[in-house]
Amino acid sequence: MRFLRKLFASKEQVWKPYCDDIGGQYVEGGFWKGDRIEIPHQGWRITLVVDTGDADCNFISTLLRAKVDPADAVMLWLVRNWPGQKLLHLLRMLGLQKADVSGLSDDCLVLTRDVEQAETVFGNPELRALISEQPQLSLSIGGLPRSSRSAANEVVVMVPGVVEDLARLKSLVALCRQVIDMLSQLDLIVPADAS
C-alpha cells in the first residue's frame, strides 16, 4: 500500500505544477475516478490520465487522448517497442495494411487502411522527432479502440507506466499536439464538439 501511495503522490507532485507550464487544468478525480489534466489545444481538449486497465488487463499506462471527428477513411496506428507488437500483424484481418514510412526507426510499426495517408502523416519530420523521444509508444487515430471502454473517435497517445518525469510529460503533450495539428492541416479531423 505504501508503494501505491508513493506512486500516486509523486505523480500529483509532478502533474500539478506542470499544469501551469502548459495552461492545463488539474482535475482531482475523487475515489472512483483518477486525477487528470485537461489541456485546451486549438478547439480540442487533450486529457492526460493514468489508465489502470480493466478486468481483462492489468496494464498501467499514461494516456493522452482527444476526442475528434475523423474523416471516414482515417485509421492509423503506430506502435514502438510495444508489448505484443509482433502479433499486431494479425490486424491485417481487419483490413489494415503495414505502412513502411521512411524516416521512422525500425522498431516502429504503422498499421493503416491508407498507406499513402500514413506516409504523409508520419513523414512529418517534427512528428518523427517527437516519436523518437519515446522508448515505448502506442499512437492511434480514428477507429482503433484502445479497449472496450474507450471511444473509437479519438487521438490516443499511450505509454506504459506512470510518467512522472517533467521533460517526458512535455514531450508527450507536444507529440499529441503535433499529431492533432498535422491531422487538422490535412483536413482529416475536426474537434468532436465542432461537428
User: 97-113 pLDDT, tens per residue?
Assistant: 888 888 898 889 888 88
What is the radius of gyration, based on Cα positions, of the chain? 16
| Structural domains counted in the chain | 1
First to last CA, the chain: 45
Query: How confident is residue 148, by pLDDT bands cut at 50, 70 and 90?
Result: very low
Identify the domain containing residue 85 by its residue range. 2-194
Do the beta carbons of residue 122 and residue 141 sit within 8 Å? no
Distance CA 89, CA 85 (A): 8
What is the pTM (predicted TM-score) of this model?
Answer: 0.83
